[in-house]
Structure 1
Amino acid sequence: MSTDARESYPVEKTDEQWRAQLDPQEYAVLRQAATERPYTGEYTNEKTVGVYHCRACDAELFRSATKFDSHCGWPSFWAPLAGDRVELLEDRSMGMRRVEVRCATCGSHLGHVFEGEGFGTPTDQRYCINSVALRLEPAEG
């Protein structure tokens, strides 16, 4: 895990470009590391089979096959699509140590990852991701 964000990403835009592309809640979460209220996101209880993309840059991040019910109020995944799709950063905000999850393509804030909570998933990890940071592309068929 790195502790500092990269200086550049494959997709980079000015603050004005991000503001024009994203609605106010998307901008607050993706670009300012805010958190949507628990149990309000469109994907919290979603069961559709497909791939979850970064809402900011459209990078593929998670598959529905790794999504599980954690009852934490946000969509939870036990692993990203591939390790290099997300960036993990130390987050010491709010008086605690957490691990922030960012999109490795555009640097947008997605949520946090937690370990050792006993969910019985293959990785013993819970990627707690804001719905507003994602866009689900349903599988064809």
Structure 2
Amino acid sequence: MDIKEGIINLETGYPEKFKELKNNIFSLEFIVAERKAFLSTQKLMYKAKLKVYEDKKEVNFFEMLTDSASGFSSGSSYMDMSPGFGFKAEKTVYMSGRGREGTIVEQSILFGKKYQYSFDYDKIRKSVEGLASNYGYKFSVVLSERNL
């Protein structure tokens, strides 16, 4: 079994597994938490991508949390100038990287006030890092998806 098969078969402990996209890029995405209220939905999504460089024996890893909300607003906020009902959609992205775990912990605390969930943000990264090490690959966390 090569590293690509190892990534696809990697047990993350979460409902989804990595899927190969193209050019040795793999993606994993799932809903961490979801809140539904009358005519509105809020979701906290986890997304991880990695790229395998077989020639350099290197794996680059990127992950982020995305908070999105959609639904109808009543126009009751003084910042919202619409009189009555309207559709509203928001999206907030939080990324992690080497030495930035505190940011995700802080965001998890913040999201804990909005959502009820338990998510080990470190588990998937450490699983991929361990797999890369087992195959003799160098593991790097990148701060931008473009740097994969």
TM bracket, shorter-chain basis: under 0.3
TM-score by length of 1: 0.26
Higher relative contact order (CA 8 A, sep 6+): 1
- The structure richer in strand per residue is 2
Select the structure of larger CA radius of gyration: 2
TM-score by length of 2: 0.25
